[in-house]
Copies of this chain bind each other. A is one copy, B any other.
Amino acid sequence: MYPRGWYLPGSGVQRGNILNSAGAGEPLTPGYPAKDYMFRIEQNETDALARIPVHPIGYSDAWHILNAIGGPAAPAEWAGGLNITYRLGPGFDSASWARSIKMNIRVRNERRDIFNTVGVIRGRVEPDRYVIMGNHRDSWTLGAVDPTSGTAVMVEVTRAFMRMVERGWRPRRSLVFCTWDGEEYGIHGSMEHVEEFHKKLASRAVVYINIDTAVRATYTLRPRISPSARQEVREATKRLPWPETVPEGTTMYDVWRKRSPIDPNDADTQPRISLLGSGSDFAGFVHRVGVSCIDLSFTFDPALGVSNYPLYHTGYETFHLQADIIDPGFKFNRGIAQLAADLVRGFADPVILPFDLMEYANYLGVMRSDLQAEYGTDLANQGISSDSLDSAIQNFTDAAQAFHSRLQAIDKNNPFEVRMFNDQLMQLERAFIDPLGLPGRPFYRHTLMAPSKHNKYVSDPFPGLTDTIFDAERSTDPAPAWREVAKQMSIIAFNIQSAASTLMTPA
C-alpha cells in the first residue's frame, strides 16, 4: 500500500468525470468548437451533464456505511472486496438505525477557458502532411502517472527532434506536437481542436500518436492501434530493446508478444493489439475524422485482476509512485519515448507511408469471424444475410492486395505518383467515416469501431451493427428493431465497399 506500494489506502478517493458527451466534445457546443462567438445551448438542454450530485468516497468510509446496512444478505455476485457481510437494506441494521450520514458536496458547473499548446516542425518536402503526437497536460491531482509519465515522454521526444533540427535535420513531413488541456473533464482540449480544424485534419493528417499514461506498470506493452498502422508498430518494437533483462527475450517485440500473446498456444503468435476505444485524446481524431491513431502505454499483468493501476486518478499519483514504485530508473519511460520517436520518424520520413492495408483486410476478417461466432445464429434466425458484408470484405481484400502490388512497382522519383499512392494510404481510414454517424451517436462516425457503450476505454467492433443487435434481442417490438439491424449491416457493407473503391487505380 502507498507509500510502500501501488495499492490505495483506505482514505484514498478516485476522481473522474461522469460526463456522458458521446463524442460531442464540450457539452454546450456539441459538434462545434467552443469559441467565444459560438452559440451555447443551456445546461438543461444536454444529457451530458449530470443532474444528480455525486461524490466518490474512500473504502474506509464505505466500510462504515456498508457494514451497518441491514436486511437480507446480498447475492454473492453483488458482494465487493471488503471483509463484511454485504446486505441489501433498506436502511441500517437495528444497532445502527438511528445513525445518519451527512455529506457536504459542492458541485458547480462553470465555464472556464482551456488552452492547447501546439508546436510544429515544418516538413522539408511535404509540409502539408502532418504526423501528430499528443498528450494531455491537465490532471486530477498531481498526475505523476496520468498524464505526466506521458508528458515526460513528449518532452523528451520533442527535445530530441529539436536537437536534430538544430543540427540541420528536417523531417520530410511536418511534425506536430500537441499538449491538450481539459482531458480529464471529458477529452475537451483535443476534441475542440478536432472540431475547429476538422477540414485541415481530414485532408492532411497522416497519423495521430497518443501518449497519455505512458507507464502505469512495466509488465507488457498495451497499444491500441488502427489496423493499417499495426505492422509499423510491430516493426518498431523489433528494433528496440525491452527496457530490462528478462527471460522472454531482448527486443520489445519479443517480450510483448510472449506476455500478451494473441494465442498463447502458438509459439509464433503475434502480440495482442486492441481497437481504439476512448478515454483519451485520440478519440476525436479517429472517431470524428478518421485519422489513423496509435495509443501507446506500458501496463500490468492482467492476471493481477485490477481494472487499472490502483492509484489511478487519486491524490497518490506522486513522483515517488512513478520514480520509486512503478518505474525505478525510468527505464520504461525511456523505452516508450524511444518507441514513440521511432514511430514519429517512421511516418514522417519514408517516401512511402508505412501503412499496411492487408492488416486492415485481415482485421476485417477477424471482426467478421467474431461477429459470426457471437451473433451468426441470431442473424440467420432473423433472415438477415451477411452476404453483403462478406462480399465487401472480399472486395476490400482484393483491392488492398492489388494496391500493394502496384505500390511495389511505382517510380519513387515521381512525386505525383508517390503522392497519389500516399494519399490513398492516408485517406483509407477516412473512408470508414459516415457523416451520419452511428445510430443514436451522431458524433461517433467510424463505422468499424466506437467506444463501447458499457466501457468507454475499449472499442466495440462494427458498433452500429452490434449495438442494434443488442437492442433487438431485448426489444419488446422486435420486428422494427431487427430491421434496424439489417439496415446497419448494409451501411457497414457500403462503407467497406467505399473504402475498397478508394484503393482502386484512381483513373
A: residues with CB less than 8 A from B are: 31-33, 35, 37-39, 120, 122-123, 125-128, 130, 174, 176, 196-200, 203-204, 387-388, 391, 415-416, 419-420, 423-424, 427, 430-431, 435-436, 442, 445, 483, 486-487, 489-491, 493-494, 497-499, 501-502, 505-507
Instruction: Collect the chain B residues with CB atoms within 8 Å of residue A420's CB.
Output: 126-128
Alpha-carbon distance A199/B429, docked complex (angstroms) = 11
A125 and B498 contacting across the interface, CB-CB below 8 Å: no
B506 and A204 contacting across the interface, CB-CB below 8 Å: yes
Q: Which residue of B lies closest to A389 (CB)?
A: B37
A196 and B498 contacting across the interface, CB-CB below 8 Å: yes
Alpha-carbon distance A159/B423, docked complex (angstroms) = 32
A38 and B494 contacting across the interface, CB-CB below 8 Å: yes
Most buried by B among A122, A199, A494: A199
Instruction: Collect the chain B residues with CB atoms within 8 Å of residue A199's CB.
Output: 427, 430-431, 498-499, 501-502
Q: Tell me how far the C-beta of A286 lies from the nearest C-beta in chain B, rounded to whole angstroms.
A: 16
Given the known A-B contacts A203-B427, A430-B199, are A506 and B416 also in contact in the complex, defined by CB atoms under 8 Å?
Answer: no
Q: Tell me how far the C-beta of A32 lies from the nearest C-beta in chain B, rounded to whole angstroms.
A: 6
Given the known A-B contacts A123-B507, A427-B203, are A198 and B415 also in contact in the complex, defined by CB atoms under 8 Å?
Answer: no
Q: Tell me how far the C-beta of A360 lies from the nearest C-beta in chain B, rounded to whole angstroms.
A: 15
Instruction: Collect the chain B residues with CB atoms within 8 Å of residue A127's CB.
Output: 420, 505-507
Most buried by B among A416, A436, A442, A502: A416
Alpha-carbon distance A501/B487, docked complex (angstroms) = 37
The 5 A-B residue pairs whose C-beta atoms are closest, nearest first, are A37-B388, A128-B506, A39-B487, A415-B415, A174-B507
A494 and B35 contacting across the interface, CB-CB below 8 Å: yes
Q: Which residue of B lies closest to A493 (CB)?
A: B37
Q: Which residue of B lies closest to A427 (CB)?
A: B203
Most buried by B among A125, A200, A442, A493: A200
B436 and A442 contacting across the interface, CB-CB below 8 Å: yes
A423 and B203 contacting across the interface, CB-CB below 8 Å: yes
What would be 16 A-B contacts, judged by CB atoms less than 8 Å apart? A33-B494, A37-B391, A39-B489, A123-B507, A128-B424, A174-B507, A196-B498, A196-B501, A197-B501, A199-B499, A199-B501, A200-B501, A200-B506, A203-B430, A203-B502, A416-B419
Q: Which residue of B lies closest to A504 (CB)?
A: B200
A39 and B491 contacting across the interface, CB-CB below 8 Å: yes
A490 and B387 contacting across the interface, CB-CB below 8 Å: no
A128 and B200 contacting across the interface, CB-CB below 8 Å: no
Q: Tell me how far the C-beta of A43 lies from the nearest C-beta in chain B, rounded to whole angstroms.
A: 14
Instruction: Collect the chain B residues with CB atoms within 8 Å of residue A505's CB.
Output: 127
Alpha-carbon distance A489/B130, docked complex (angstroms) = 31
Alpha-carbon distance A196/B504, docked complex (angstroms) = 14
A507 and B120 contacting across the interface, CB-CB below 8 Å: yes
Q: Which residue of B lies closest to A30 (CB)?
A: B436
Instruction: Collect the chain B residues with CB atoms within 8 Å of residue A431's CB.
Output: 199
Most buried by B among A122, A196, A490, A501: A490
Instruction: Collect the chain B residues with CB atoms within 8 Å of residue A39's CB.
Output: 483, 486-487, 489-491
Given the known A-B contacts A33-B494, A486-B39, A487-B39, are A507 and B196 also in contact in the complex, defined by CB atoms under 8 Å?
Answer: no
Instruction: Collect the chain B residues with CB atoms within 8 Å of residue A388's CB.
Output: 37
Most buried by B among A486, A491, A507: A507
Instruction: Collect the chain B residues with CB atoms within 8 Å of residue A416's CB.
Output: 125-126, 415, 419
Alpha-carbon distance A196/B499, docked complex (angstroms) = 10
Alpha-carbon distance A486/B37, docked complex (angstroms) = 10
Q: Which residue of B lies closest to A499 (CB)?
A: B199
Q: Which residue of B lies closest to A435 (CB)?
A: B435
Q: Tell me how far the C-beta of A414 lies from the nearest C-beta in chain B, rounded to whole angstroms.
A: 9
Alpha-carbon distance A499/B388, docked complex (angstroms) = 38
Q: A128-B420, A196-B498, A415-B416 are in contact. List 13 more A-B contacts (CB 8 A).
A: A32-B491, A37-B388, A39-B489, A120-B507, A199-B431, A199-B499, A200-B501, A200-B506, A203-B430, A203-B502, A204-B506, A419-B419, A435-B445
Alpha-carbon distance A501/B125, docked complex (angstroms) = 21
A507 and B125 contacting across the interface, CB-CB below 8 Å: no
Instruction: Collect the chain B residues with CB atoms within 8 Å of residue A204's CB.
Output: 506
B436 and A31 contacting across the interface, CB-CB below 8 Å: yes
Instruction: Collect the chain B residues with CB atoms within 8 Å of residue A502's CB.
Output: 199-200, 203
B37 and A507 contacting across the interface, CB-CB below 8 Å: no
Instruction: Collect the chain B residues with CB atoms within 8 Å of residue A415's CB.
Output: 415-416, 419
Q: Tell me how far the C-beta of A427 lies from the nearest C-beta in chain B, rounded to whole angstroms.
A: 5
B435 and A32 contacting across the interface, CB-CB below 8 Å: no
